[in-house]
Amino acid sequence: MTLHQNLIAGEWVGTDGVANINPSNTNDVIGDYARASADDAKAAIAAAKAAFPAWSRSGILERHAILKKTADEILARKDELGRLLSREEGKTLAEGIGETVRAGQIFEFFAGEALRLAGEVLPSVRPNIGVEITREPVGVVGIITPWNFPIAIPAWKVAPALCYGNTVVFKPAELVPGCSWAIVDILHRAGLPKGVLNLVMGKGSVVGQAMLDSPDVQAITFTGSVGTGKRVATASVEHNRKFQLEMGGKNPFVVLDDADLSVAVEAAVNSAFFSTGQRCTASSRIIVTEGIHDRFVAAMGERIKGLVVDDALKAGTHIGPVVDQSQLNQDTDYIAIGKNEGAKLAFGGELISRDTPGFYLQPALFTEATNEMRISREEIFGPVAAVIRVKDYDEALSVANDTPFGLSSGIATTSLKHATHFKRNAEAGMVMVNLPTAGVDFHVPFGGRKGSSYGSREQGKYAAEFYTTVKTAYTPTA
Ligand SMILES: NC(=O)C1=CN([C@@H]2O[C@H](COP(=O)(O)OP(=O)(O)OC[C@H]3O[C@@H](n4cnc5c(N)ncnc54)[C@H](OP(=O)(O)O)[C@@H]3O)[C@@H](O)[C@H]2O)C=CC1
Ligand SMILES: O=C(O)CCC(=O)C(=O)O
């Protein structure tokens, strides 16, 4: 089997490979991917440091052309790359292709942003002095990504980093190296100079840790668990570097008495179970007012029974497998915790077998949950959701906000008054009205509050805040 190597200083290197396994069929080995060492990570950082002076001064047309070429190739290969994504992560083929298109659009967006770099010229408060405000690249950016969005998250970190003139050391999750390798290969062939983008696939505790420990990494952007996010934060403060964290969520989805029942059920099912619930924007807390509660739960039950859980690549599959055994154990542990806490497992939650050996779990819906239970407070990251019954809108809002997290939030209502009030008062970075809590646009800010996120927003033009540093220059004008 061909070994997919790491890219360091413009050369493909590495001899030691790790098998990338399909969670829908554990007999299916997608390929071998090199495992970088801490020394490889150090070499990648050195290469990025050496490449920075030239790339930071490169022309905007060169950056535009490379990012646009990458976008075009990703979009042209959307079916093949989408299939690779579904095969390595387990989301359905439609979701895999959709995410690949999103990655292409992200590169296209930042190709455009390269041509729109701008500053400001202001008068000084002193006579005959001009002030220029410009944005400069930060330096070597370390990118650490999780397994649940194998192409979109790498795209929304790598594209702006390069667009604004930074050089990159990129460590994808070891579980899903395939899409990351593919986009690095595309960028490399699109003409990136040696050392501008370095790929170091391997273990977080080794490769990621070497990045955290390096004084030559000026910024780290991270998406993943709260625990690792805290390590990134501590190490970054130690090195006085910029950092940006996107961590967990425990996103509420509120259903009010006046909701359109079918809109509410579709949005709740999508929020809780699509992409196998493995989204930081997923909702696993469905907060329902008492007038609609029983009808909503019954309709959810019918909808869940119609969901096909099977091989991600099969036509007709709605929910693919869980990503691996360890995540499956986490999901089933939380199902046991929910039962022990006194919530009622109303639907699903069983391990199921299919034609191929994979990590298949029937989506689980708890009812009679309270917001104090662990299943309502901790991120499960699987197809497991709980319904919490509340009296009215005021109680729903208060329960929705009673969480250590604050990434996304949603409401199903036909009341403009309640929708408007919720948009203003939900303690979350993103609010969805009559829409799922997950599934965001690629050109607008993404991020949260409280325990979910740290630092400036990702995506859209707001990404410039992280990937650039502001300079204010004063010059006599006369
Ligand atoms: N908010 C989100 O989008 C996500 C949240 N999660 C949450 O996290 C839980 C665990 O998932 P998991 O993948 O283990 O999350 P991690 O936080 O461990 O992984 C995220 C990334 O960090 C890397 N990493 C791990 N340890 C270190 C370290 N010491 N220094 C630097 N980088 C490191 C990982 O590498 P590697 O995996 O290769 O070892 C991976 O690339 C999930 O169950 C879920 O609750 C997970 C993914 C995304
Ligand atoms: O909901 C989305 O579209 C994005 C979710 C995401 O970025 C994540 O789960 O890590």
In this structure, the residue with its CA closest to atom 3 of ligand 2 is 439
For the segment 375-396, what is each residue's pLDDT rounded down to a tens digit? 999 999 999 999 999 999 999 9
Q: In what helix (H) or strand (E) does residue 305 lie, and over which residues does it extend?
A: helix 290-305
Question: How far is Cα 426 from Cα 410, in angstroms, rounded to an integer?
Answer: 9
CA-nearest of 391, 430, 435, 393 to 412 is: 435
Model-level pTM? 0.97
> What is d(CA 14, CA 19) in angstroms, rounded to the nearest whole number?
14
Residue type for 425, please?
A: N
First-to-last C-alpha distance (Å) of the chain? 69
Q: Which residue has the CA at smallest separation from atom 25 of ligand 1? A: 204
Dihedrals phi, psi of 170, to nearest 5 degrees: -115, 120
Atom of ligand 1 lying closest to residue 145 CA: 41
146 Cα: distance to centroid of ligand 1 (angstroms): 5
Q: What is the DSSP string of 69-88?
A: HHHHHHHHTHHHHHHHHHHH
- Give CA–CA dist 250/7, Å, rounded: 36
Which residue minimizes the CA distance to atom 10 of ligand 1?
225
Q: Are the C-beta atoms of residues 456 and 466 closer than 8 Å to each other? A: yes
Distance CA 230, CA 51 (A): 29
Judged by its nearest atom, the ligand closest to the C-alpha of residue 220 is 1
Centre a 10 Å sphere on the Cβ of residue 93 and count the other Cβ atoms it contains: 20
The first and second tokens of residue 257, run together, are: 């008495």
DSSP symbols for 250-261: -EEEEE-TTS-H
| DSSP alpha helix (H) spans, 351-428 | 374-377, 393-401, 416-425
Instruction: Return the ligand 2 atom nearest residue 278 CA.
Output: 9
One-letter amino acid of 339: K
Residue 293 CA to ligand 1 centre (angstroms): 36
User: What phi-psi label fits residue 9: left (phi over 0), alpha (psi between -120 and 50 degrees) or beta?
Assistant: left
CA proximity to 430, closest of 300, 259, 241, 251: 251
CA dist., res. 387 & res. 297, Å (int): 8
- Output the six-digit token pair for 113: 């942003």
Joined together, the tokens standing for residue 73 give 């190739």
- Centre a 10 Å sphere on the Cβ of residue 158 and count the other Cβ atoms it contains: 29
| Ligand 1 centroid – CA 330 distance (Å) | 14
Say which residue the tokens 């041509």 belong to: 115
Neighbours of 216 (CB within 10 A): 17
**Residue 476, CB-side half-sphere exposure with 13 Å CA sphere:** 1
ipTM of this complex = 0.96
The residue to mutate among 40, 171, 174, 228, having the most atoms of ligand 1 within 8 angstroms of its beta carbon, is 228
**Ligand 1 centroid – CA 114 distance (Å):** 30
Which of 223, 281, 273, 277 has the alpha carbon at shortest distance from 440? Answer: 281
The pLDDT score that the predictor gives to residue 322 is: 98
Q: Which residue numbers in the chain have pLDDT < 70?
A: none
Phi, psi values for residue 244, rounded to 5°: -140, 130
Quote the ligand 1 centre to 226 CA distance (angstroms).
8
To test ligand 1's pocket by mutation, which of 147, 181, 225 has the most ligand atoms within 8 angstroms of CB?
Answer: 225
The token pair at 331 is 């999901």
DSSP string, 145-163: --SSSTTHHHHHHHHHHHH
CA distances from 355 to 90, 193, 311, 409, 423 (A): 15, 46, 8, 37, 45
User: What are the residue numbers of the active site?
Assistant: 246
Q: Kind of pairing, strands 242-246 and 453-454?
A: antiparallel
Our CA dihedral for 341, 344, 346, 352, rounded to 10 degrees, sits at 30
Nearest atom in ligand 2 to the alpha carbon of residue 439 is 3
